Amino acid sequence: MKPTRLAIPSAGLHRPAFTLVELLVVIAIIGVLIGLLLPAVQSAREAARRASCQSNIKQVGLALHSYASANNDTFPHNLGKESTAPAGGGPPYNTGNRGRSWIARILPYMENTNLYDRMQFDQPLSNADNLDVCGTAIKELICPSDTSRGLMNDRANLGNHPTSGRQWGVTNYKAVAGGNWAWGDHTGVRMTTGRWPNSDNGIDRGNGMICRNSDNQPGNITTFTDITDGTSKTFALGEAVPEWSNHTTWFFFNHTTGGCGVPLNYRVGLVDLFAARGDWGRNYSFFSRHPGGAMFAMADGSTTFITNSIPLSLYRQLATIGSGEAVSLP
């Protein structure tokens, strides 16, 4: 009987490796999969940011209502010059001014009482305590899709911050001053009815909720009964992008309103808006980093996303509080 012979594998045998072509095919497939997944991931992230932005602007809108409920149904207003200040309030457009914004007035209703209590309302902005407060970022005023993170320098009329390394607190949410306008590419936009009929001064004589300056324009102070167009059909707040308009801080009366006389997201993608941030006649309006539109809060406290395709006439009509238009949200 012959002995059994064991089969010993040859030391030279091994599993074949991928060829270069196969490796390139695998890499290409992975690249395609990543290319398909990336937009979905980015879309999900933007949806989350937009939901957070919607929550923020709603909280600001509800703070407006809380302020009004505590003040005889009267909404807060900007004050450019206080009547008790020397010489009518001091310089109107710099840190020597004693005026404050409507946002500063609603801080206690946004769980920012400590910040409000630190403000010296009887002193100009140049006061050391005020400068410290005005260099504070407020998280409820920051859209997560924006890149400013609530602080910026180079703000109009304020000059350089006197404290090294500090910046001004900015906001992504401004009040709607109305639908009339007189500057830039949209001059002579008027309405014949409502607040300030036939006026195109959409800054100090706007036909909307809160104008830039109300101390010398008493007709600008808004109550619930003034909103005869319907609170669910009237813009109260809209989004802003501080990088694209240097008239944007949360504390200064000249920096907390915008007009709908200028189209929504005007010139986005057409010009360098950061370089044009001082062009107030074209950017004292509403912008957003959300694709396709911007978030707005209505006078009843609800929120809505307005697309860039909204007809300009409707956009302006929704910005008025009492012009009598029979309109509805798109």
pLDDT in tens, 156-181: 988 766 665 678 999 999 999 999 99
At 24, is the secondary structure helix, strand, or coil?
Answer: helix
Which contiguous run of DSSP H or E holds residue 54? Answer: helix 20-70
Q: How many Cβ atoms sit within 10 Å of the Cβ of residue 267?
A: 17
Domain assignment present for 27? no
- Domain of residue 311 covers 42-318
> Is 82 or 208 the better-scoring residue by pLDDT?
208
DSSP assigned state of 258? E
Residue 266 Ramachandran class (φ > 0 left, ψ -120 to 50 alpha, else beta)? beta
Tell me if 33 is assigned to some domain: no
Least confident piece of the model among 125-129, 222-226, 244-248, 320-324: 125-129
Best CA proximity match to 311, nearest among 254, 260, 270, 276: 260
| Domain-located, residue 56 | yes
Q: Please report whether residue 70 resides in a domain.
A: yes
What is the model's pLDDT at position 211? 93
Across the range 115-130, mean pLDDT stands at 91
Higher-pLDDT residue of 90, 83: 90
What is the domain count for the chain?
1
CA–CA distance, 105 with 81 (Å, rounded to integer): 15
Q: What is the pLDDT of residue 87?
A: 45
Q: Which amino acid is at 310?
A: I
Domain contains 1: no
Give the least confident one: 94-98, 123-127, 195-199, 245-249. 94-98
d(CA 89, CA 248): 21
Q: Tell me what the mean pLDDT of segment 141-147 comes to.
A: 95
The pTM (predicted TM-score) of the whole model is: 0.85
- Asked, for residue 330, whether it belongs to a domain, the answer is no
Query: Residues 15-33: pLDDT tens digits?
Result: 566 677 777 777 888 877 7
Q: Is residue 136 part of a domain?
A: yes
CA distance 107 to 129: 16
Q: What mean pLDDT do residues 92-105 have? A: 86
Would 17 be classed as within a structural domain?
Answer: no
148-152, 286-290, 321-325 — which one is most confidently predicted on average? 286-290
DSSP 8-state secondary structure symbol assigned to residue 280: H
In this prediction, residues 131-136 reach a mean pLDDT of 92
Which pLDDT belongs to residue 97? 83
